[in-house]
Amino acid sequence: MTDKYSYFDLVYEVTRHIPAGRVTNYGAIADYLALGSARMVGWALNHSFHPGIDVPAHRVVNRKGELSGRNHFETPTKMAELLKLEGIEVIDNCIVNFDQYFWHPQEMDKKM
DNA sequence: GACCTGACGCCCC
DNA sequence: AGGGGCGCCAGGT
């Protein structure tokens, strides 16, 4: 599993399964993968610009619901705009009712 | 081959 | 309760 796929690919896969209108945080993904720390998740998503794979990295935020990685997008506001288009209200780069929109990777496994 | 970095998170003070 | 520091782990240089 991890033999052929890098940690990146695992993070990408989980991130791709995040339903529209839902968001999660780095720690949740790291915990689900049980491979390490949230830092790596964010770091991996930084390289999310992977050819042929659309990774909704905008749905991944830090534990505070803050768009910490917006600066890495095409435009700093792109992340907030994408979330808004999905019905998530973002104010001051912070997701409103973050707990309400929170999605745990375990839901993915349950769905599958 | 070793050191540093990195979109975070939790423990300790 | 708030702030600061350290830990995680793989990839890049």
Sorted by where each starts, the structural domains of chain A and their CATH numbers stand as 7-111 (1.10.10.10)
For strand C, which nucleotides have at least one atom less than 7 Å from a protein CB? 7-11
pTM of the model: 0.89
Average confidence score pLDDT of chain A:
89
Nucleotide nearest to A47 (CA to C1'): B7
What average pLDDT score do residues A36-41 get?
89
Q: Would you give the distance in Å from CA A63 to the centre of its chain? A: 11
**For residues A24, A38, A47 and A73, what is the CA-based torsion angle, rounded to 10 degrees?**
50
What average pLDDT score do residues A45-56 get?
83
